[in-house]
Amino acid sequence: MTVTYEACYTVKPMEPTKCGRVPLSEWDQIGTITHVPTIYFYRLSQNFHLFPNNTIASNLKDSLSRVLVPFYPLAGRLRWISNGRLELDCNAMGVQFVEAQSSSSLEDLGDFSPSSEHHYLFPKVDYTLPIHELPLVLAQLTKFKCGGISISMTISHAVADGPSALHFTREWARLARGETLEKVPFLDWKVFRAGEPPSVPLTKCHVHTEFDHPPLLLGQTNNSEERKKKTTVANLKLSKFQVETLRKTANESWNRPRNGRAYSRYESVTGHVWRSVCKARGHREEQPTGVGICVDSRSRMEPPLPKEYFGNATLYVVASSLAGDLMSKPLGYASSRIREAIERVNDEYVRSAVEFLKNQEDLSRFQDLHAVESEKGLFYGNPNLGVVSWLTLPFYGLDFGWGKEVYMGPGTHVHDFDGDSLLLPGPDEDDGSLLLHLCLQVVHMDAFKKHFYEDIEFFFYQQRINKIK
């Protein structure tokens, strides 16, 4: 694929906005602090082909300028202060908007599965620059020879988690199609005591081991070698029937607390992924293993935060087990371990974790800089994994005025570390299917696919036998 870059603009808020340096919460400064990319592909109707070439770009830039007024933090810049900590400089320096032209057609992209060639469809973030020079949002409009287009966005995770980033993009789309802003962002980082000193000393804090490095392979003292091993990415589909088979198996194979709600799609599928990964890696029974889970704390706080809270309110927690227990016990056991980790996240837990982080001398060891083979940040590769869920986020149906997308997906390098994975609804939201984007070491991927699908067939066969009995 050949992509020609035609123009690059800095888009600033259309009106004056609040200025000044703002302290970020501890949640904004740990985990992924780089940019997270997504992309949308559109087939335009014949009516749009009649407009001048710059009409679409002009509309996108104009609406982007207008949406940056209420979402003014995204027009600012991050700054390092000290001890691995960041602050947000609301200086209205703007975001980057790129126009590009591709020699390919949408048909050349097949089923749109992420590939290395898609890299050119995303705006490049130059991490060699000082962080205070990097835009927090970069967008790229690419026009294809067939008349179709793609819109890609990469947004700093240090300023916006998934729900916040989607709130921004959906409001941008509303303005682009001529509607008014639906919901303004809730901009108050003080709810997580941003910028405040610790209220209790570290010696009196609850120790949050989930912020420490996850388990290592037995016999190893660090994960340096595992970080360097070659990986590959698979994009696997689960039909509605397969999802229901997993959920039914999880709920029938393990006793839940009395009156406890049934295991969700996420808990059931993630439990199955965890078991299959352990089998594919050939773990010993006594091997400790963990799975990282993202939990949105907005509704779990007391009182609950507004859904429009803008920033990072999604916490990373870890479910743990011995590999032998996961592989030998029913699927419901794995789901129960995941449920326990999720249910730990309540108001008391969140405030305790904030206090723990405030007492840390340096936050850099908790930060993921997205550098392959880097020794920095938490690593959820062998013997662990992380399963991020986009199942409940409104990614699909982003209409800028020319209809809904024909495909939406993550960037090509979002989940390119061993153990990284992403669950999202299938492209036809109504068919109940799910997609799993998974990165594993090359030597483990074929075995994973085998266990992943064959075990589902076994579960279904087992359910039929039990029904006959």
pLDDT digits (tens, 9 = 90+) for 13-58: 999 999 999 999 999 999 889 999 999 999 986 565 555 556 899 9
Residues 149 and 158: their CA atoms lie apart, in Å, by 29
Ranges 72-86, 250-264, 351-365: which has the least confidence: 250-264
Q: In this predicted structure, what is the pLDDT of residue 47? A: 60
Please write the tens of the pLDDT for every residue from 114-149.
777 788 999 999 999 999 999 999 999 999 999 999
Ranges 145-154, 160-169, 193-202, 375-384: which has the least confidence: 375-384
- With a cut of 50, say whether residue 372 has pLDDT above it: no
Specify whether 451 is catalytic.
no
Q: Which residue among 325, 399, 413, 416 is the active-site one?
A: 399
DSSP per position, 141-162: EEE-TTS-EEEEEEEETTT--H
Mean of pLDDT over the chain: 91
Does 3.30.559.10 match the CATH number of domain 3-192?
A: yes
Does 3.40.190.10 match the CATH number of domain 206-468?
A: no
Q: In this predicted structure, what is the pLDDT of residue 51? A: 57
Q: In this predicted structure, what is the pLDDT of residue 112? A: 82
Contact residues for 352 (Cβ-Cβ < 8 A; gap 6+): 205, 206, 208
Please write the tens of the pLDDT for every residue from 376-405.
667 889 999 999 999 999 889 999 999 999
CA distances 71 to 42, 66, 98, 266, 391, Å, are 25, 9, 20, 31, 25
Q: Which residue among 157, 167, 415, 451 is the active-site one?
A: 157
Q: In this predicted structure, what is the pLDDT of residue 46? A: 59
- With a cut of 80, say whether residue 106 has pLDDT above it: yes
What whole-number percentage of the chain has pLDDT above 90?
76
- Supply the DSSP symbol for 253: S
| CATH 3.30.559.10-classified regions of the chain | 3-192, 206-468
What is the mean predicted confidence (pLDDT) over 217-233? 93
Q: In this predicted structure, what is the pLDDT of residue 463? A: 87
Helix (H), strand (E), coil (C) string for 194-252:
CCCCCCCCHHHCCCCHHHCCCCCCCCCCCCHHHHHCCEEEEEEEECHHHHHHHHHHHHH
Q: In this predicted structure, what is the pLDDT of residue 207? A: 73
Ranges 96-100, 137-141, 278-282, 414-418: which has the least confidence: 414-418
Specify whether 161 is catalytic.
no
Q: In this predicted structure, what is the pLDDT of residue 87? A: 98
- With a cut of 70, say whether residue 257 has pLDDT above it: no
What is the mean predicted confidence (pLDDT) over 99-112? 91
